Amino acid sequence: MLVDLAGGWNPMLGRLAWSQIPYDNPILAPLFVAVVIGTIIILGLITYYGKWTYLWKEWLTTVDHKKLGVMYIILGLVMLFRGFIDGLMIRTQQAWAVGTHSSGVFGATHGYLTPFHFGQVYSAHGLIMILLAATPLLVGFMNIIVPIQIGARDMAYPYLNALGLWITAAAGALIMISLFVGDFAHNGWFGYAPIFELQYSPGVGVDYWIWTMELVALGTTLGGINILATIIKMRAPGMSWGRLPIFVWASLSANVIALTSFPALQVALGLVAADRYLGAHFFTAGLGGNLMLYTNLFWIWGHPEVYFVILPAFGMMSEIFPTFSEKPLFGYITMVLASLAIAGVSWLVWLHHFFTMGAGPYVNSAFSVATMLVGIPTGVKVFNWAFTMYRGRLTFNAAMLWAIGALFLLLIGGLTGMMLAVPAINYMVHNSVFVVAHFHSMLLVIVYAIFASVIYWFPKVFGFKLDEFWAKTMFWLFSAGTTLVFVPMYMLGFMGMTRRLDYVFNTAWHPYLLVMEFGIVVYMISVLAFFALLYVSIRDHAKNRVGADAWGTSRSLEWLTHSPVPFYNFAVLPHISARDEVAWRRDNGIDHVQPDHYEDIHMPNNTGVAIILGGLTFVLGFALVWRIWWLCILSLLAIMALVIYRSFKGDPGYIITAAELEEMEKDAMCREAQIGKQHYRVGGGVLGDAIAYERSDLPPLASQPGSSVGLGHRS
């Protein structure tokens, strides 16, 4: 039943052999040595400081949604860095291998990467950035913020939450190990039929690609179910649908997409696996296979997926703009409807990824119109953000700068997207770097929103603010890099440069490619600025401690509890009376009212089962890649046994008594009292003294002349 392999296979090691380790590769071999030394140093440091117990008890076995979220974000940032290095390699190759006279090293005729290696680099870049950087980062933020914003103590299923993280981490480990054992797919991150068939790609690269994606899909589906159930079932008393913070609405619509679309990816890749492992003929050329079936199935997931990643980013921006405009969000209801509309329309547009399939004018027109429809709810959002800022009392701190940067990129990416929605234009620029520049603009919206959120929610999670100077420095460097890389890319797209060129034949494009190379170096410096940001912020953390309402102008429920958030989130669950509960309490002078008595609360126990299951899924993936069948069966049986074991064992949880709770709350309030009163900035937005929103604890501005014209102002 299993297919016969052309290469070697033995029952013990499957396809694994020494020749599969690329120790003779001049790029990978030194990297491998560096990674091994780095790992030894890290493990050595953990051992030296005796932190293994701490690590195991506090992090690896935790079911606390905030810690899991932090680990999701760390995983996402590490993978973002890996994906960035891939981007740097792509840019360098294209800046180097231009024209017939360009030199070549390391076995490449031009540049430093052979075509096969280059193919692996851009495939890994795409897959990592979307599925292992953006997705974990956003899931991490949803994990941390959603339960606190709805007034819950944890997610609906804390253990499932840990399981989702560790399965995602297993996927990350699988793609990382493909660097040093075997190779990775060279068929682009979304794959093409029939190049990924065994006949044309006999190596293990495509198998790594399949199982990495399957694991991410599994982890994200589990996470999506968890977040949806949390939002539907775990809201605090009084938190009606109309009072739900906007980020929660965005998470809800995003996870509806995740829940419904990821199974399509699992099937699409499962069928590729059936072709490669069982010799099926789903996507083969000949014997009744259908090449475009794969492309359709993939993008039926693929397009909803890009809205799955952008909707939480929109939610983040919708939290940040009101906070630093000191106004409620403009058009809350339209914002909610727009999120749900985007989630709905995301299902109707997949064919615009391949207008050139030749489906004919009627099909293409329908999908073109559906694609343009996306512009309506997105436009609603952009105008809502603009009106939120309009006549607001703006604070241009780092978080706000990143959010505004996201807004600009959304405009550029959105308008070029509208161009690409026209089939006639699409035929012209299809498969060119114009398309690449377009979707990078869109995905950078997410990156900008993520960095805005890192700065915005960092004090909530860790209790101190990040350094403003370095955060702004990083923002400007990053924005310079974005401009330098992607403006020339749009231009080259119009000039007809196709994507994924390992060798650029047209020397007239060289100057643009050199500008892009310079841009990626600026990006590199911004990454260094990020490290400096972390270093300086942690060094000076004592100076930057904050209280519950870290920004002084915060609005939604997460800012009601202490910073850092205690592991039980709220000692007593809040009763919600308003849409912007914290702003409402602050405006009415009741934000310091604390609960008068405490009661016992029930919390889930930590468990090591989740991380062991994650490890076993990694083993299963690795065994499947290398076709080590005994290991596949063994790890599958171990997974089933462990799941049944956990099911029998259950988790009774434990009780925090009211007395313990009171003690911890006293400590937290004591710490907050030492921080002293926050200094709130008064007046002076971009529109002079025009204001839209007046704070009761600030000196009145009504005496100033411009204020009476403020939007919604009462004096």
Partner 1 sequence: MSSPASNVDPKTAELWDKGHYQYDVIATRTLGYFMYLLSDGMLFATLFAAYGVLSYQHSYFGGPTPADFVKPWYTFVQTMALFLSVLAYGFGMNALKNKNKSGVISGLLAAFVLGVLFLMLDIHDMTHLASLGIGVATSGGMSAFIVLTQVHATHIFFGLIWILVMMAQVMTKGFTTDVVGRLLTLRMFWHLQAIIWVFVYVFVYLWGYMS
Which 262-321 positions form the footprint of partner 1 (CB under 8 A)?
Answer: 262-264, 266-268, 271, 274-275, 278-282, 284, 286-290, 293, 297, 300
Tokens of 445: 């919206």
Backbone phi and psi for residue 532, each to the nearest 5 degrees, phi listed first: -60, -40
d(CA 123, CA 502): 13
Closest-CA residue to 228 (of 156, 281, 316, 332): 156
d(CA 499, CA 352): 17
CB of 128 or CB of 300, closer to partner 1: 300
- Say whether residue 340 binds partner 1 (CB under 8 A): no
Instruction: Pick one of 228, 341, 406, 527: the residue that binds partner 1 (CB under 8 A).
Output: 228
- Say whether residue 226 binds partner 1 (CB under 8 A): yes
* Cα–chain center distance at 140: 8
CB of 131 or CB of 218, closer to partner 1: 218
CB of 16 or CB of 380, closer to partner 1: 380
CB of 193 or CB of 317, closer to partner 1: 193
d(CA 103, CA 314): 45
Instruction: Pick one of 137, 216, 236, 349: the residue that binds partner 1 (CB under 8 A).
Output: 236
CB of 30 or CB of 237, closer to partner 1: 237
Stretch that binds partner 1, among 12-20, 260-268, 428-436, 504-512 (CB under 8 A): 260-268
Least distance from partner 1 to the Cβ atom of residue 338, Å: 18
Least distance from partner 1 to the Cβ atom of residue 14, Å: 21
Least distance from partner 1 to the Cβ atom of residue 637, Å: 11
Q: Interface residues for partner 1 in 649-668 (CB under 8 A)?
A: 650
Helix/strand/coil for 688: strand
Q: Interface residues for partner 1 in 619-648 (CB under 8 A)?
A: 640, 644, 647-648
Helix/strand/coil for 654: strand
CB of 290 or CB of 498, closer to partner 1: 290
Burial of 526 (0-12, 13-18, 19+ CB in 10 A): buried
Least distance from partner 1 to the Cβ atom of residue 695, Å: 10
- Say whether residue 357 binds partner 1 (CB under 8 A): no
Residue carrying structure tokens 């959002």:
381
655 has which bridge partners?
602
CB of 20 or CB of 296, closer to partner 1: 296
d(CA 571, CA 574): 9
CB of 24 or CB of 596, closer to partner 1: 596
Within 10 angstroms of residue 440's Cβ, the number of other Cβ atoms is 21
**Interacting residues of 8 by C-beta distance below 8 A, sequence separation 6+:** 15, 17
Cβ distance 131 to 578 under 8 Å?
A: no
Burial of 559 (0-12, 13-18, 19+ CB in 10 A): buried
CB of 29 or CB of 669, closer to partner 1: 669
- Say whether residue 359 binds partner 1 (CB under 8 A): no
- Say whether residue 575 binds partner 1 (CB under 8 A): yes
- Say whether residue 1 binds partner 1 (CB under 8 A): yes
Least distance from partner 1 to the Cβ atom of residue 4, Å: 11
Q: Interface residues for partner 1 in 127-166 (CB under 8 A)?
A: 156-157, 160
Cβ distance 248 to 147 under 8 Å?
A: no
Least distance from partner 1 to the Cβ atom of residue 584, Å: 4
Within 10 angstroms of residue 552's Cβ, the number of other Cβ atoms is 20
Closest-CA residue to 370 (of 339, 394, 355, 349): 349
Least distance from partner 1 to the Cβ atom of residue 710, Å: 9
Q: Interface residues for partner 1 in 587-616 (CB under 8 A)?
A: 587-590, 593, 595-596, 599
Stretch that binds partner 1, among 166-174, 226-234, 335-343, 674-682 (CB under 8 A): 226-234
Residue carrying structure tokens 């490669």:
276
- Say whether residue 583 binds partner 1 (CB under 8 A): yes
Instruction: Pick one of 7, 38, 44, 237: the residue that binds partner 1 (CB under 8 A).
Output: 237
d(CA 305, CA 255): 10
Cβ distance 320 to 403 under 8 Å?
A: yes
CB of 218 or CB of 623, closer to partner 1: 218
Least distance from partner 1 to the Cβ atom of residue 568, Å: 14
Stretch that binds partner 1, among 257-265, 384-392, 527-535, 608-616 (CB under 8 A): 257-265
Stretch that binds partner 1, among 172-180, 229-237, 353-361, 412-420 (CB under 8 A): 229-237
d(CA 607, CA 190): 36
CB of 27 or CB of 578, closer to partner 1: 578
Q: Interface residues for partner 1 in 97-116 (CB under 8 A)?
A: none
d(CA 559, CA 405): 24
d(CA 60, CA 51): 12
Least distance from partner 1 to the Cβ atom of residue 650, Å: 5
Cβ distance 222 to 613 under 8 Å?
A: no
Instruction: Pick one of 126, 414, 574, 614: the residue that binds partner 1 (CB under 8 A).
Output: 574
- Say whether residue 580 binds partner 1 (CB under 8 A): yes
Q: Interface residues for partner 1 in 670-709 (CB under 8 A)?
A: 692-694
Binding mask 163-202 for partner 1 (x = CB under 8 A): ----------------------------------------
Instruction: Pick one of 147, 328, 417, 621: the residue that binds partner 1 (CB under 8 A).
Output: 328
Tokens of 371: 């694609």
Closest-CA residue to 224 (of 301, 300, 151, 153): 301
d(CA 82, CA 75): 11
- Say whether residue 358 binds partner 1 (CB under 8 A): no
**Interacting residues of 475 by C-beta distance below 8 A, sequence separation 6+:** 398, 401, 402, 405, 451
CB of 78 or CB of 573, closer to partner 1: 573
Burial of 344 (0-12, 13-18, 19+ CB in 10 A): middle
Least distance from partner 1 to the Cβ atom of residue 661, Å: 13
